[in-house]
Structure formats: C-alpha cells, structure tokens
Amino acid sequence: MGTYEATSPSGRESGPMGTRPGKIIAVHLSYASRAEQRGRRPANPSYFFKPSSSIGASGGTVERPAGTELLAFEGEIALVIGTAARWVKPDEAWDHVAAVTAANDFGLYDLRTADKGSNVRSKGGDGYTPLGPGLIDARDVDPSSLRIRTWVNGDLVQEDTTAGLIFPLRQFVSDLSQHFTLEPGDVILTGTPAGSTVVSPGDVVVVEVDVPGTSASSGRLHTTVSQGIRSFSDIGSLPEVDDKQRAEAWGTPAAEPVAEEAPALSEDLRAKLLRAPVAGLSAQLRKRGLNNVAIDGVRPNLPGSKIVGTARTLRFVPNREDLFKSHGGGYNAQKRLFDSVGTGEVIVIEARGDRGSGTLGDILALRARYLGAAGVVTDGGVRDFGAVAETGLPVFSQGPHPAVLGRKHVPWDTDVAVACGGATVLPGDIIVGDDDGVVVIPPSIAEEIADATLVQEDEDSWIAQQVGQGRPIEGLFPLNPLWRERYEAWQKKQ
C-alpha cells in the first residue's frame, strides 16, 4: 500500500491521483442488472484497455463528435492499485488496492462496429474516463459494501451496490495479475449496472461512490457533455449506427420486445380510429352506457396531433422518501417501461392528477419516439416541455412543470390497471386522443365503436353541408324521417 504516492499533474488531466495511470483496464460486463438487460451473463470476466489520455477530472467536459449520436455514460467504481500485483490470490488481492473512486466510462456507440469489441476508438476519446473527485482509502472499506450512483441533470438513473456484482472486486485484481503486473497508479474500471443510456450536449452527468451509512465517499464527479465541431474523416472507419447499436446504447432490455406491433389493434382498425374524432367516439361509447371513459384534464403538447394505440400502463405512488430510495433510482419501473414500449403502443401514466412535478422528460420521450410509441398520456406534468414537443412524440398531459419526478412521485409498477384523469385504463385498452381529449375504448367493442362513429361522421358532415346552405336546424339535426329519407337517397348516389 505504502508505495503509491500522488505526484503533481503532468500538464494533462490526471484525475484525483495527481498523476496519469500507466494502465486503465475496464471490465466489460459485471453487474447482474446489466447482464439481465443485455440478455447475456458471462461465466468469467472479460476486459479491455483504455488509454491514459482518456482521463478527465471532475468539472470537465466530454465531447460528442460532430456527426455522431450515441454517446453513453457508464457510472462505475474505479480501483486504484497501490502496490504491484502479480499472481496474487483473491483473498490477498484487496491488499494491493490503495483507493476507490468514482469513474464514468463514456463510450461512443457510433464507433463500436469499427472496434469489434476492442473499444479503442469508441471508449478511448480524450476525457472519456473522468475520475474522482476524491479517493476513499481502500483500507477503510469492505469491498462488498460499496455503492455506485449516477445522476443525469439531477435525476437518479443508476443505483447499485457491489452486492449486485456477478464477480467480486477482489477477483478482478487477482485475475488480471495472472496475465501482467498491475503497477501502482493503475486503474481498474469495474463495470456499470443497468441504467446506462445516451446523453446529449448540455447534459450534466454526476457519479458518486460511497458506503451507505458512513461518511466514506468519493465526492460527486461532474461531467458536462459538449458538442464537437469536428467530424471524423474517411482516413479511417467512419461512424456507423444500426438498430442494435441504438438499442444497446439506450439500454433496451434484450428480453423485452422492441418495435413489435400491438396484436389487439389491426391496421384496418387503426386506420378507422385515426379517421374517427374523439368527440364522435365518446358519443358512441355513451350510447352503449360507457360514460366514464374520458381521461380528463389532459391536453396535447402538439395541437392537431392524433394518437391511436394500445395501452401500456405505469403507476406512480405518492412520494415517500424511503420508498423513493428503494424504487425511484436506478433502472426503475418508469425507465423499464419507456425502454420496452412497442410500435403503436401508448404509455398511460397514473400520476393521481398531480401536476406538481414532471412525469417524463425529453430523454424518455426520445426513447419512446425511437421505439415507435404512438404517444404518452399522463395526468401529471411534463418536464422539458418544449424539448419533448420537439421530439415529435404526441404527449397529452396537464402541462409543463420544471420539477423532477421525485418531488411528488415514486415509480411503482407497470402493466397494471391504473387510474388516469379519472378513467380506469387496463393494459391493452385502446387509447385515442385528439384536440378534444382522450378516450379509453375496451378492445372487445373497438371495431363496433369505430364503424358507428364513422357512419355518424358521414351523416353529420351532410347535415353541416345542409346547414351551411341556409337550411334550418329543426328536423335536420337530428334527422327527422323526411330528412333521413333525403340523406339516404344522397348516400345511394354516392
């Protein structure tokens, strides 16, 4: 332990150690939550190298190069080697670790195809390995008790502990020491839990490693994403993005269906419902005794938009600090649903009509838009309201609110019966929205309701035409027998 000493920086970023490490070794896949998300669980750890020039310090920036789109963060626990380790046993491995700190293993998924697993370019960029800001003395902590947390723009997006690791931290040190000497100052990045996703210029990513219940902490590592002005040239491999890279960058669970058509809603029925106005659908539902199927109080963020789709549901419960601690962070119910929504589905959120915080923001809206969601309906507020509208995803809500989710809500469960705007919504119910509002249609009668609405719309259009020509409403709206005979004669001619 005693041979590791901090020295003054060499002119480039050196992180909390005061000198740049000789080697940075990163673990590919190490947390059970991440393995479940990726759909594969390794039998043994595997590794890649990052250049020491990728080190960055807290308060710095990381650049997303021009012409790329998939820069993703990965909050990680970093181990700093204190004494040389070669052929050390697992039970002796921790003795060779001087310190623990926070790290952010940034990666540019646009270059993963070119790297084919080596991650040289995709994870080797300048500033792609910020560390710090402080060090936790390894002698003072149990390696099985560490916690990693990551925030993006103030929202907690990753939270896990070393209890969630597939392989213990000691194993990484022991395993690597079989192949080469780990030298003082070398850094091991120990992998990221679920919740890693894409960030954009202007986003601020914060990572902290600590020991819950104690004062031991790395401090919070702040990194701001900036937009680069230079793009890659054809002297080497150019950025290349496909659906697989997008899915892995955004963090789509492998076990969940992506971009699949909702089976309860045929294309023919969808086309009918897109033509049918919500006011007409509401009238037909009322004729059949369904008066409580309107989602009250919600308005579209994009006036003139129309949503038609089958419901995927998300329930928030009122915020309680202990429950938010256990259910609000990491890869929570909200993120899991936005990561698994399919083409043509509508996310319906129960926020108890409380507009006092956001229930989604631009990152989640982008994710849902990419996966082909038909829209979102929430009886709460929307954060980043203008940016959400710019994604083109139709969102019906009670309007904008700047506060984060945790001010009012705990994301609790998904795909259950929810109450949204005074209406009960079941998973698989058909949701239709336009400028008049949103209605919920039981799938068993959706075809009947759509057909009846379109018939009524044809009739109402003809009536409006007659009124527009100066005819009085009496007897015409609704049609009396004489006017109905005239209408039916007109229909036959059509």
Binding annotation for Mg(2+) = 384
Q: Which residues contact 11 (CB under 8 A, 6 or more apart)?
A: none
**Percentages of the chain per state (helix, strand, coil), in multiples of 5:** 30, 30, 45
Write down the residue that tokens 């000493």 correspond to: 5
Name the CA dihedral angle for 313, 317, 319, 320, rounded to a multiple of 10 degrees.
Answer: -130
Binding site feature residues: 361-364, 383-384
| Bridge pairing between strands 221-231 and 204-210 | antiparallel
In angstroms, the CA 310 to CA 356 distance is: 27
In angstroms, the CA 100 to CA 169 distance is: 11
Nearest CA among 130, 78, 107, 123 for reference residue 199: 107
Return the SS3 of 324: helix
- Are the C-beta atoms of residues 420 and 377 closer than 8 Å to each other? yes
The phi, psi pair for 271, rounded to 5°, reads: -60, -40
Return the SS3 of 159: strand
Alpha-carbon distances, residue 83 vs 23, 51, 134, 173, 208 (angstroms)? 14, 21, 19, 11, 25
Q: Which residues contact 28 (CB under 8 A, 6 or more apart)?
A: 42, 45, 46, 47, 48, 191
**Cα torsion angle, 362, 363, 367, 368, sign:** negative
Cis, peptide link before residue 51, omega less than 30° from 0: no
CA 294 to chain centre: 28
Binding site feature residues for substrate: 361-364, 383
Name the CA dihedral angle for 435, 441, 443, 449, rounded to a multiple of 10 degrees.
Answer: -80
